[in-house]
Amino acid sequence: MAKNQNKTNGNIERIIYRNTAKDRLHAFWDVFDKDDDVLVIINADPDALASAMAVKRLLRYRVKNVVIAHPNEIRRMNNVAMVERLKIPLERLGNVKCGDFNKFVMVDSQPSHLPCFEKMDFDAIIDHHPLSGEWDAPFVDLRPDYGAVSTMMVEYLRAAGMKPSVALATALFYAIKVDTQNFEKQSLLADGIAFRYLFSIANRNLVRKFELTDLRRSELKYFNIAFQELKYSKRRYYTHVGRVRSPDVLVIIADFLNHVGEIDWVFVSGIHGEKLVVIFRCDGYRKSAGKLASRTFGSFGSAGGHKEAARAEVPLKNLDLGDREFSSASLKRFIMRHI
């Protein structure tokens, strides 16, 4: 049984049980009138983007206008590809006049998640994150046991008798894959049912393109540097890439090197801003990348992660390098003290 949770200023949690998807759908629709101008606000990522598209579809012909807005810059190439190829209409929140709208919807987030959200009063909030902060809204559908909000939106669409377009189905399908990490993370049977429903509608070739779009052409140079600087020792790879536009490229390089069969450990570092970023990869069998990251760099900055994957971010000033440049040899020396 799905539940709606709402936290009032009195710090009292109100739980409203709605038995069916149609009950939730009609309660959501009851919030809106024909003359409403609706602003759907998201912190843009695949699940939020897909869910906002679904809200727009649900409110078509029921309100005057629906606009999707986001405060964050969309930088990840996977997300850029999703927006561009599906032609998702978006506005930056800073460029929108909120006074032009009389109804506000939030999906895949809560007002307490960002300071700019806390200043707004929302009429409907649909999310799968655990309840956080104190806020109130006329309609709330909060289901933290669900793997993705997109699963919830599929239930709304099916309750409304609306078959999603190929573009919407593709967005929802991709979002469920991302948020459940291909069902390796916590998920419910409901996520699997929604995924199977979308399987024959979505353009899966396009989804594959989103998944593979990790790099800008300008970032290919970092692979060249990584190979030139690559050091091998005792089934371990070490490489320092230097200054990078985004730490995401270090993750991509580390995952690529981790494909080599004879390698037990991969360490890739780079400098972003005034921080050294180090990515750790291993098979997680009798090893813990998270523990090694903490032992190696925990005293200098933020470090930790899972058994098979970890990350450290260290202010350069904490490393006391003097006049020396950090290098692959430096990376190896730091690791060797603790491995």
Taking only the tens place, the pLDDT of each residue in 183-202 is 988 789 999 999 999 999 99
The token pair at 275 is 């921080």
* CB of 293 closer than 8 Å to CB of 200: no
Residue 121 has pLDDT above 70, yes or no: yes
Question: What's phi and psi for 5, nearest 5 deg?
Answer: -120, 140
| Residue matched to tokens 């190896």 | 332
Buried b (16+ CB within 10 A) or exposed e, 226-243: beebeeeeeebbbbbbee
Q: Give the per-residue pLDDT at 284.
A: 86
Q: pLDDT for 218-258, tens place per residue?
A: 899 999 999 999 999 999 999 999 999 889 899 999 999 99
Q: pLDDT for 129-185, tens place per residue?
A: 888 888 989 999 999 999 999 999 999 999 999 999 999 999 999 999 999 989 988
How many Cβ atoms from other residues are within 10 Å of residue 323's Cβ? 4
Residue 285's pLDDT band, with cuts at 50, 70 and 90, is: confident
Q: Give the per-residue pLDDT at 15.
A: 39
Q: Which fold has domain 218-336?
A: Diaminopimelate Epimerase; Chain A, domain 1 (3.10.310)
Residue 34 has pLDDT above 70, yes or no: yes
Q: pLDDT for 43-81, tens place per residue?
A: 999 999 999 999 999 999 999 999 999 999 998 889 999
Closest CA to 248 of 282, 300, 213: 213
User: 3-212 is classed in which CATH architecture?
Assistant: Alpha-Beta Complex (3.90)
Q: Give the per-residue pLDDT at 101.
A: 97
Cα–Cα distances in angstroms (integers) from residue 58 to residues 28, 52, 63, 163, 329, in the given order: 10, 10, 10, 11, 57
Residue 16 has pLDDT above 70, yes or no: no
| Mean pLDDT across the chain | 91
- What is the torsion angle, in degrees rounded to the nearest 10, for the CA atoms of residue 66, residue 86, residue 210 and residue 290? -10
Please tell me the pTM assigned to this model. 0.74
Domain boundaries, the chain: 3-212, 218-336
Cα 12 to Cα 134: distance, rounded to the nearest angstrom = 9
Q: Is 102 helix (H, G, I), strand (E, B) or coil?
A: coil
* CB of 118 closer than 8 Å to CB of 47: no
Question: Can you tell me the mean pLDDT for 8-19?
Answer: 42
How many Cβ atoms from other residues are within 10 Å of residue 173's Cβ? 26
How many Cβ atoms from other residues are within 10 Å of residue 21's Cβ? 17
